[in-house]
Structure 1
Amino acid sequence: MKPKYITSRQIFVLVALTLSASAFAAGKHAGGHGHADEETAIGKPGVASKVTQTINVDMTDNMRYTPSSIQVKQGETVRFVVKNQGKVKHELSLGTQKELLEHLEQMKKFPDMEHDEPGKVTLSPGQQGEIVWQFTKTGTVNFACLMPGHYEAGMKGAIKVGKK
């Protein structure tokens, strides 16, 4: 057998894919949840000192969140204490349905993607993490686990944001 060599074009493609995946994972993609005070379609990152409510959310290997239906008021800043009770990695990502479905497609291509966005937390088995979020608009904010196969198995929920 002849040894196979990687061409410079293949190296270029690999580098481009790696850089685009890194930028996406760092939250630099279109439609992502911004950092600091940047408001999005679902609100904005909250300030810990302004938290008005703490909600505990458990993630399990039966591909469910407890609770999966949450109610908050417009303007409220909520601390979500998220715990992975399972034996596999799970995440909780806040977003519109459209954003979550777009991100789901990216996760299928890059399943080991790391997140550094204030509206997302990825946890290994037994880990606990937090999201602090201010809900600035009424309506529905969706959340889901976008690890490959988890969303499709039903790992999703909704936050109803009511008037003040």
Structure 2
Amino acid sequence: MLEILKSGRVLLVAQGHEEKPNPMTIAWGSIMFAWNKPIFVAMVRDSRHTYRLLEEGNNFTVNFFDKGYSKAMGFCGSKSGREFDKFKETNLTPIKSKSVDSPIVEEAFLHIECKVVYKQAMNSAALDPSIREAYYDENVAEKTYHTLYYGEILEMYGDISK
């Protein structure tokens, strides 16, 4: 599963009040155990459309894909849901999840459904300078930091053998 996270073949789907879900490619995430709960931590910049949806909906799904979906992952990671219906553009299928409002993606082989139980904006002063320079340098057009969303894993299903 770690190789899949590093490969960028993971979509986080969030849905806000407008009920239009948005898939966003993620490569930075973590599964942990805290507060006697299984937790998925996702990092989302506040400049992203998904950020607003997470703030409104307070839940998300994480969907893992085979290598054959790299074109769809590229589209979902480079285009904004403000301007595109990513599901329509990639021919991916949102379907109702079991426990949260945000849908899962039918074509994924593994689904995780999460309810946000904690969120925290990154403190740039606490960040290692080498990471700050590499990912948040002032010369980079994207001058925003990430918010970390801690999602309690309510459901996890699919084929975990991949």
- TM-score category, normalised to shorter length: under 0.3
Output the TM-score relative to the length of structure 2. Answer: 0.23
| Richer in helix (by share) | 2
